[in-house]
C-alpha cells in the first residue's frame, strides 16, 4: 500500500460544506473513486500535467471555443484514472456538451457541476484538509493496530493469537499458510473450501498484497524474508460473517499483520532448528553411550519431553531415496505425531533413529511399523528400510542395539529377500558373513568354491549363479526353482548337472552343498 495514495472518495468530498450546491451531472457510478490530489486546468494540454487520483477543477477557459475537444478530453482523463472533473460553467462555456456527459456515464467518470459563485480556492483548501485529516487518522489507527500486533509478539501469542486479532479488526476470516499452502493454525471448513478455489501458481512471484475479486472476495499477502517465500496471509469475506468490502485500513492491517506473521515464522523456524539440534545431539549421545551417567541421560531426555528407561531397543530407518532435509523432517513429524514420549526419535546422517522401551513396548512398535509402513514411506517421500537391534540390558548397552540395527539395515540393502523391516536376530548366517566381509580368508573361500562357475557365466553369457541362488532359496525343490525362473523342469535339471560338473561337487554331499550355499550368500557382500 502506497501511503501517499490515501485519499477520500468523491462521494465523501461532496458532503463538505464547500461543495454545497454542487451537482453530479454524469458518472454517478464512479463516486467511490478516491481523491489523492487536486489540480486546476489552465492549459489545453492538461493531459501532460495530471496524475492518477486527481480531482481536476476547470472553467474550460482554454477550450471555450472548441467544445469537441471537451468531448475528446473525458475518455483521456478517465484513462489516466483521475478521480473526477469539477466544472464551473456559465462564465466561459454555457453548457457542458451532452456527448461529454454520455461518455462520462459510460466510463463511470464523475463530472461535477460547481455553482457559479464558488471560487476554486474555496474548494481546494477543505479537500486538502480532508485528505490530510484522513491520512493522519488512518496512520494513527494503523499505528494503534501495529502496537496491538507488537503486544501479541511480546506476550508470546504466536500466529494463532495474531490471526484471531486480525479477524476481529477486519471482520473477515484469516489464516496463515506456509509456502506449500499448509495452514499454520486453525482454519474453518468454509475457509478451507474457499482456498481450494485459488490458483496458487498465480501468487508464486507475488511481492505485495493482491486482491481476489468475486462473490466471495479475498486478499492474499505473501510472507517474504530475504527473497524467500515463507507462506501467505490469506483472508476472505465469509458471507455468514460480513458483507462489507475491504477498506484501506483493512489493507494496512493485513500488511502490518503479514510483517508480524513473517517474523513469527522466522522465530518459530529458528526455535525448531534449535530444538532439532538439541534432540539430535541427545539421540547421538544415547546411541554412542556418551553420557557421563544414567542420571544425566535421563535429565536430558526429560528436557526433550521424552521418557528414558534402562532397557531400550534401537530402530534405524534409512531413506533409500533421500534427497533433501524436508523428507527427514516430514518423517520425524509423522513419528512424533503418532508415537508418545516413550519413543525417542532423531536424525543421524541420512537416517532416522527411533529408540523404544524394550520388551512388550518394542514388540508393539514393530507391529506398528509393519502396519504403517506405507504411510511412513509416503511421509518421507522415499522408500524405507528399517533395521532393529536387540533389547539392551542397560543404557550403556543401547550402543550395541544401535550397531545391530545398523547391521540389519546394511544387510537388508544388500539382500532384498530379507524384506524392508529386518530384525538383527533374523539375519542368521549373514551376521557371520558380514563380520568376515572384506577379509582375505573370505575372498579365498569364495574363489576356491565358486570361481569356475563365475568364470563360465562370464565367458558364455549364462547365469547359472542365478539358478543356484533360486535352488537355495527354494530349499532344493527343483519344481519351485523352475516355476520361479519360468523355465521347464528339465532345464533346471540340466543346469544343476552343469553346475556340479563345473565345480566338481555333488549336491547329494551335505558338506559340499553347505559350503556352496555359504559362498553364494557371501557373494552379496563382494
Task: Give pLDDT tens digits for 246-282.
Answer: 877 888 889 888 988 998 889 888 887 888 888 888 8
Task: Please tell me the distance from the alpha carbon of residue 273 to that of residue 258, in angstroms, as a whole number.
Answer: 22
pLDDT more than 70, % of the chain: 95
Burial class of residue 175 (count of CB atoms within 10 Å of its CB; 0-12, 13-18, 19+) = buried
Which residue intervals of 245-385 are DSSP H helices?
Answer: 248-287, 294-303, 325-338, 360-371, 373-380
Amino acid 518: pLDDT: 78
> Are 522 and 445 within 8 A, CB to CB?
yes
List the one residue out of 225, 224, 194, 227 whose CA is nearest residue 209. Answer: 224
Q: How many CA atoms lie within 13 A of 432 on its CB side?
A: 6
Amino acid 375: pLDDT: 94
CA–centroid distance for 344 within its chain: 26
Joined grid coordinates for residue 112: 461535477
Joined grid coordinates for residue 458: 562370464
pLDDT in tens, 401-451: 999 998 899 888 877 888 899 998 887 777 666 666 667 777 787 787 888
Task: Please tell me the distance from the alpha carbon of residue 388 to that of residue 291, in angstroms, as a whole number.
Answer: 22
Burial class of residue 40 (count of CB atoms within 10 Å of its CB; 0-12, 13-18, 19+) = middle
> Are 9 and 34 within 8 A, CB to CB?
yes
In residues, how long is the chain?
A: 526
> Are 289 and 396 within 8 A, CB to CB?
yes
**Strand bridging mode 111-113 / 84-87:** parallel
The residues near 165 (Cβ < 8 Å, ≥ 6 apart) are: 148, 149, 152, 257
Joined grid coordinates for residue 68: 469537441
Q: Which residue has the cell 560338473?
A: 501
What are the residue ranges in the chain where pLDDT is below 50? Answer: 1-5
Beta bridge partners of 314: 355
Task: Please tell me the distance from the alpha carbon of residue 66 to that of residue 501, in angstroms, as a whole number.
Answer: 115
**Strand bridging mode 210-212 / 218-225:** antiparallel
The residues near 502 (Cβ < 8 Å, ≥ 6 apart) are: 452, 453, 456, 464
Amino acid 12: pLDDT: 84
Amino acid 437: pLDDT: 67
Task: Please tell me the distance from the alpha carbon of residue 321 to that of residue 409, in angstroms, as a whole number.
Answer: 14
Amino acid at each position: 500500500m502506497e501511503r501517499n495514495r490515501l485519499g477520500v472518495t468523491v462521494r465523501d468530498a461532496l458532503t463538505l460544506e464547500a461543495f454545497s450546491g454542487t451537482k453530479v451531472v454524469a458518472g454517478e457510478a464512479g463516486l467511490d473513486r478516491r481523491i489523492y490530489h487536486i489540480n486546476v486546468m489552465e492549459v489545453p494540454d492538461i493531459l501532460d500535467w495530471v496524475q492518477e487520483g486527481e480531482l481536476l477543477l476547470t472553467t474550460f477557459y482554454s477550450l471555450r471555443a472548441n467544445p469537441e475537444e471537451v468531448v475528446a478530453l473525458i475518455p483521456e482523463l478517465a484513462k489516466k484514472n483521475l478521480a473526477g472533473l469539477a466544472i464551473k460553467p456559465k462564465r466561459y462555456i454555457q453548457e457542458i456538451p451532452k456527448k461529454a456527459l454520455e461518455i462520462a456515464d459510460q466510463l463511470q467518470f464523475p463530472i461535477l457541476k460547481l455553482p457559479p459563485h464558488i471560487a476554486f480556492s474555496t474548494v481546494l483548501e477543505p479537500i486538502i484538509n480532508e485528505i490530510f485529516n484522513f491520512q493522519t487518522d488512518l496512520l494513527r489507527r494503523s499505528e494503534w493496530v501495529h502496537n496491538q500486533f507488537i503486544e501479541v509478539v511480546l506476550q508470546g501469542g504466536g500466529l494463532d493469537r495474531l490471526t484471531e486479532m486480525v479477524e476481529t479488526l477486519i471482520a473477515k476470516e484469516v489464516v496463515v499458510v506456509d509456502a506449500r499452502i499448509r495452514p499454520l493454525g486453525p482454519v474453518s471448513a468454509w475457509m478451507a473450501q474457499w482456498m481450494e478455489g485459488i490458483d496458487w501458481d498465480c501468487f508464486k512471484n507475488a511481492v505485495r498484497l493482491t486482491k481476489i475479486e468475486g462473490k466471495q472476495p479475498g486478499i492474499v499477502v505473501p510472507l517474504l524474508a530475504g527473497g524467500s517465500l515463507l507462506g501467505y496471509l490469506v483472508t476472505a469475506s465469509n458471507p455468514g460473517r460480513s458483507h462489507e468490502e475491504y477498506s484501506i485500513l483493512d489493507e494496512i492491517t493485513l500488511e502490518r499483520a503479514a510483517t508480524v506473521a513473517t517474523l513469527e515464522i522466522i522465530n518459530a523456524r529458528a526455535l525448531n532448528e534449535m530444538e532439532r539440534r538439541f534432540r539430535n545431539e541427545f539421540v547421538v549421545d544415547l546411541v554412542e553411550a556418551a553420557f557421563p551417567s544414567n542420571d544425566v541421560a535421563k535429565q536430558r531426555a526429560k528436557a526433550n519431553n521424552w521418557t528414558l528407561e534402562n532397557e531400550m531397543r534401537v530402530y534405524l530407518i534409512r531413506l533409500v531415496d533421500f534427497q533433501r532435509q524436508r523428507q527427514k523432517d516430514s518423517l520425524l513429524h509423522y513419528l512424533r505425531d503418532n508415537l508418545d514420549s516413550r519413543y525417542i526419535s532423531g536424525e543421524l546422517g541420512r537416517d532416522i533413529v527411533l529408540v523404544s522401551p524394550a520388551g512388550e513396548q518394542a514388540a508393539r512398535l514393530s507391529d506398528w511399523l509393519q502396519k504403517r509402513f506405507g504411510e511412513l514411506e509416503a511421509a518421507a517421500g522415499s522408500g524405507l528400510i528399517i533395521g532393529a537391534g536387540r533389547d539392551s540390558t542397560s543404557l550403556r548397552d543401547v550402543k550395541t542395539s544401535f550397531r545391530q540395527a545398523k547391521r540389519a539395515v546394511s544387510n537388508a540393502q544388500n539382500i532384498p529377500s530379507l524384506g524392508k523391516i529386518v530384525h538383527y536376530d533374523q539375519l542368521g548366517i549373514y551376521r557371520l558373513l558380514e563380520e568376515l566381509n572384506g577379509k582375505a580368508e573370505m575372498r579365498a573361500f569364495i574363489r576356491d568354491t565358486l570361481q569356475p562357475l563365475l568364470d563360465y557365466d562370464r565367458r558364455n553369457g549364462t547365469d547359472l549363479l542365478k539358478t543356484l541362488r533360486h535352488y537355495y532359496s527354494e530349499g532344493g525343490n527343483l519344481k519351485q526353482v523352475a516355476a520361479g525362473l519360468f523355465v521347464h523342469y528339465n532345464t533346471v535339471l540340466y543346469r544343476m548337472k552343469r553346475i556340479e560338473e563345473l565345480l566338481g561337487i555333488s549336491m547329494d554331499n551335505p558338506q559340499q552343498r553347505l559350503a556352496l550355499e555359504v559362498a553364494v550368500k557371501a557373494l552379496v557382500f563382494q
